[in-house]
Structure 1
Amino acid sequence: MKTVSCTLNTLLNDDVSLIEEQKSDVNRVLDFDLPLGEYDFLKKHVKKIGVTKEFSNVISTFKTPENETPEGFRVAYRLESNGILRADLIRDISYDKNGKKRPTNVLFSADSANPYEVKSISKIIANLTCNPGIIYDLFINNPKANIGNQFKTRDEVMEEIGRILGTGADISVELNDPFGKSDTELLEEAEKFREMLSEYRVVIKVPHTGPVTNVNVSELLLGNKKLGKSFADVTTEDAFRGHNLALMLQEHGFRVNFTLMFEPYQTALALQAKPYFVNSFIRHRLMQSESMELNLKQYNATGDPKFIKNIQDMFLEKDYLNMDQAQMELLMVKKMAEDMLKYRHFSDAEGSDGLDSVRHNLRLFKNTNLDDTRLIICSMEGEFNYPDIDKLLVEKEFEDLVYRVVVTAEPKYLARFTSCNQVVSYQRRFMNAANGQK
C-alpha cells in the first residue's frame, strides 16, 4: 500500500521549471507516480524537465490526445549532465495508456486476420499474429468471413486491423515467401509493413525453415506434397537460414517473431537470432504424443503389430519419417516412439499435460540476456490446452517469468474460456427473478 505519493509535479519549484517549448508534452506525465527513492535523488539534481525527441515522435505518430500517453508504451526518465530530466516513451505492450500496467503480467494475443473478429477482442489483446494462411485462406478467400468480399488484398486487411487495434498491440505479420525472394526483396516487403503499421507496432514473423529450401519447396506443392528427404537431413546453411534472416531483419531495425518451434531443443538456438518473440507450439505435439502412447499401450496389451503400424503411419503423415523410410522395421518405430515419449516426460507431471516444452522454455528464459524477448505459447485446441496453461502459469517456479509470456489462440478458442456452465444456471435464476418468475 502506498503511503507517500510523489510525481514530477512535486519536483517543480522556483529552481526547477519545464522546458517552455515542450510544456504540452511534459504535461502528459507530470502527474505520473514517481517512487519516493527516485524523487529524493532527482530533487537534488534536476533543473529543467522536458521530453526526448522519441517521446514527441510517438505522440505525433499516433496523434495522441492532450494530457495522455498512448497504449503500448511505458514512461522512462533520462537525467542529463546539465540537470535536464527528460521523459521518454519506450515500446512495451505490458502497458495501457497513461503509463498504467495491463491487468495481468501474462498477456494475450489473437491468431486472426479477420477485422470483424478482431474488433471484439481488440481491447483485450497486446499482440496479433497472422501468416499467409490466416490472411488468405481463413479470411480474404473465405466468403463467410470476408463479408461481401469487401477486402481484396493483404494490405487492405492489415491497414484495417491496424486501425482497429490502435497503438497498444503489436502486429506480427509474416513475409509471403521466405524462399523465393532475395534478402533485398524481403527487406523491401518488411519495410512496406513498417510504413503501414509504424516502427512501433510492426513485428516481422520469420519461420524456421529446416530442410526446406528454394530448390525443394516445390515438392510441398506437387504430387503427394512430401519432402523427398528427412527433416533431419539438412545442411548447416539451410538449417540456419531462418536464424540468419531474423538477424538480418533485426540489424535493419525490425523486431522479429521467430516461429515454428515445436520441440524445446529448438529454443536456445532460436534465441541466438535475438527475437522479440519466440514461439512454443503445443497442440500437435500433445495430440501426437497421445496417439503414440495409446497405440503403445494397445500393442503391449495385445501384441498386435497393427498398433505400431498406426504409429508408423502417423510418423509418415506428420513428417517424422520421409517416404524412403516407409519400410522401417516396426521394432525401430516402436523404440522411436518410446524414446520420444520419454524425452517429452509424457508419463510424469513434467509433461503429461503436453506442456514440458513450455516449462523448459521458461527455464531457458531465466538464463537469457534478451530482456525484452517474450515467449508466445501458441497452437491450442480442445478442452484442456488453455486451462492447463492457465494452471502452469501460477506454478511457484514460474511466478517471476509470467511477464515474459504471451498466450495466443484463435479468438473463438479464447472466447470459450470466458464462461462456464454455471453462468447459464445463474443467469436463468437472475432473469427469472427479474421477471417475477421462479
Structure 2
Amino acid sequence: MITVNYSGKGEGTLDMNYTLSSLGAAAARGEESMVERVENLRIHAEDFERLSGKVKYVTTTERFKDVIKTFNVQKGEIPAGFRVETTLLMDGTLHTDLIRDISYDKNGMKRPTGVVFSADSANPYEIEPIAPLLGNLTCNPGIIYDLFLNNPAANVGRKFKTREEVIKEIGRILGPGCDISVELNNPFERDFEKILDECERFKELVSEYRLVVKVPHTGPITADNVSQLMQGNKRFNGRYDQCSTEAAFMSHNLALKLREHGYRVNYTLMFEPYQTALALQAKPYFINSFIRHRMKQSEIFKKLTEEFDATGDERYLTELRAFMIENDYLPVEETGLKWCYEKAKDIIKYRKFNEKDGSDGLDSVRHNLKLLRQTKLRDTRLILCSMEGDYNYPDIDRLMTDPDYEDVIERVVITAEPKYLARFTSTNQVISYQRRFMNAVNNDSNVGKMG
C-alpha cells in the first residue's frame, strides 16, 4: 500500500504539484463518474514520482459509492467530512476510498483551522445559523427534552413532538460534514440488544457516517440504584468514589462493546484528568474535558478554605460541607468539617488552582492533550465542553495557540451552546467602525440625492 496525501484545489504548495489525473491512468470501466470526483485532487511531487508508471486503472470502493449515494452529492464533488485515501494493488489498480474525517471540508479541502467547532444543542432554530461552521453537534437527553422538546419558548408551537423528529431535522440542517453525537436514553439498560436497537434507529436518522453514540460515564450509579436519583430527595446515598469494581467500569465496558459493534463512541462526563487514561481504554472516538462546573467549584473551595484559614470561623466549613453535599461530593451531612476542609484543600492542589497551569481552570485540558499525544488511537479527539462566562472560551483560544500543543491541535473539538460561541464573534470596535462606515455611505447617498 502506498499512502498519498491528497489535497483539494487551491490547497497546493509553492512546489510543483500534480493531480491524480496527471498519472495518466484510466478510470475502470463503469467508474468514470466516480473517479471524476477525485481526478483533480492534488498530489505532491514526491508522491507523484512514487506512483508514476505504477497505476494502470483508478477505481472507487463500495464505501466511496455508498457515501455519494447516501448524501446525494452533486456531480463532480466529494462531500465534506471525508478524506481521500488510496490503495495501490499489485495489478496496478488504484482503489480510492472515502474515510470519515471531520477535519475536511468538501472536495478534499481542510477546514480553516486545526481546531474543529461543535455545538451543544438540539434546537434546530439556533443550530441553523452556525451549521456551516460546525464539525460536530452533541445532544443529551437534558438538551433534547428539557431545553427543547418540552420548552415552549424553544419548540415554538410544539412543531416537534419526538426525539426522532428533532434528530432528523438536525441532520438535514447540518449536512454530511458534521458528526452528530446522540446520547443513549438509558445507559443502565440491562438488555444490550435494546441498546443496539436504539443505536440502529439513530443510524437510520443520521446515517452511519455521521452517527457518534454518546455514552455517559456512570460512576457508582447502576440499574439497581439509579432510582435514588429520581425519587424522594433525589440524592445518591453513597460516595462518588466508593463503588464496586463492576459498577465503576460499567460504562467503560458499554462504550467498548459498542465500539466492537462498529459504532464510534463519544465517551463523556470526564471532569478530572485521572479519569481520562482509563476512559481511553474504551477506544472512544471522542473523549471529553468538562470545564465550567469544575472551575466554579474550585473557586468556591478556595474562597471558603481561605476564609476559614484567615478567621478560624467554622461557619465557613459548615458552608463548605453544605456545598459539597449539594454537588455530590458527599452523601450525608454527618461527614466531619475537618474532612471537608482537607478534601477541598486536596482538590485545589490536584487541580493546580493556585498555580499558573491551573488558575484558568484548564489544567485538565493540558493534562488530556498530553495523554492524547501518547494514545495509539489515531482518530480519537478531545472535546472541550461546558463553558460559560467571559473567560472560559478566550482562555481556551489562547491555549490553542500554545506551541507546546501544536502537534495535537487537529484533534481538539471546542463545543458550547451556539449563543455562547456567538458572544466571541464580536467586539465593541465592530460597532464603532460600522457606525463610521454606514454613516459615510449614508452621507454619500444624501449628496447624490441633492445633486
Q: Does 1:246 align with 2:255?
A: yes
Where do 4+ consecutive residues of structure 1 move more than 3 Å? Answer: none
What is the identity, as a one-letter code, of the residue corresponding to 2:434? Q
Q: Which of 180, 193, 209 is equivalent to 1:171?
A: 180
Q: 2: CA distance between counterparts of 1:236 and 1:288?
A: 27
Q: Where does 1:83-162 land on structure 2 (aligned, <5 Å)?
A: 83-162=92-171
**Per the alignment, in what secondary structure is the counterpart of residue 133 of structure 2?**
coil
Question: Deviation string for 1:1-22 (max 9, x for gaps)?
Answer: 423120111111xxx3221210
Q: 1: CA distance between counterparts of 2:370 and 2:443?
A: 56
Q: Does 1:390 align with 2:397?
A: yes
C-alpha displacement of 1:35: 1.2
Q: Does 1:47 align with 2:59?
A: no
**Per the alignment, in what secondary structure is the counterpart of residue 265 of structure 2?**
strand
C-alpha displacement of 1:59: 0.8
Q: 2: CA distance between counterparts of 1:52 and 1:126?
A: 24
Q: Which of 282, 289, 294 is equivalent to 1:280?
A: 289
| Equivalent residue number for residue 5 of structure 2 | none
Q: Where does 1:11-410 land on structure 2 (aligned, <5 Å)?
A: 11-12=23-24, 16-323=25-332, 326-410=333-417
Q: Contact (CA 8 Å) 2:23, 2:53: kept in 1 or not?
A: no
What is the identity, as a one-letter code, of the residue corresponding to 1:436? N
Question: Deviation string for 1:229-277 (max 9, x for gaps)?
Answer: 1111111111111011111111111000000000000000000000000
Q: 1: CA distance between counterparts of 2:54 and 2:122?
A: 50
**Per the alignment, in what secondary structure is the counterpart of residue 443 of structure 2?**
coil
What is the identity, as a one-letter code, of the residue corresponding to 2:18? C
Structure 2 residues without counterparts, runs of 5 or longer: 1-12, 445-451
**Per the alignment, in what secondary structure is the counterpart of residue 123 of structure 1?**
helix
What is the identity, as a one-letter code, of the residue corresponding to 1:288? Q
Q: 1: CA distance between counterparts of 2:307 and 2:296?
A: 17
Q: 2: CA distance between counterparts of 1:57 and 1:343?
A: 49
What is the identity, as a one-letter code, of the residue corresponding to 2:200? E
Q: Contact (CA 8 Å) 2:19, 2:43: kept in 1 or not?
A: yes
Structure 1 residues without counterparts, runs of 5 or longer: none
Q: Contact (CA 8 Å) 2:189, 2:195: kept in 1 or not?
A: no
C-alpha displacement of 1:181: 4.6
Question: Deviation string for 1:159-213 (max 9, x for gaps)?
Answer: 0000111100000001111114511100110111112211100000001101111
C-alpha displacement of 1:216: 0.8
Q: 2: CA distance between counterparts of 1:195 and 1:329?
A: 53
Q: 1: CA distance between counterparts of 2:174 and 2:386?
A: 22
What is the identity, as a one-letter code, of the residue corresponding to 1:2? L
Query: Which shifted more, 393-402 or 282-291?
Result: 393-402
What is the identity, as a one-letter code, of the residue corresponding to 2:197? E
Identity of aligned residues (%): 56
Query: Which shifted more, 57-66 or 264-273?
Result: 57-66
Q: How many residue pairs were aligned?
A: 432
C-alpha displacement of 1:114: 0.5
C-alpha displacement of 1:72: 0.3
Q: Which of 4, 27, 31 is equivalent to 2:16?
A: 4
RMSD: 1.1
| Equivalent residue number for residue 414 of structure 1 | 421
What is the identity, as a one-letter code, of the residue corresponding to 2:320? I
Q: 1: CA distance between counterparts of 2:201 and 2:90?
A: 39
What is the identity, as a one-letter code, of the residue corresponding to 2:388? E
What is the identity, as a one-letter code, of the residue corresponding to 1:305? E
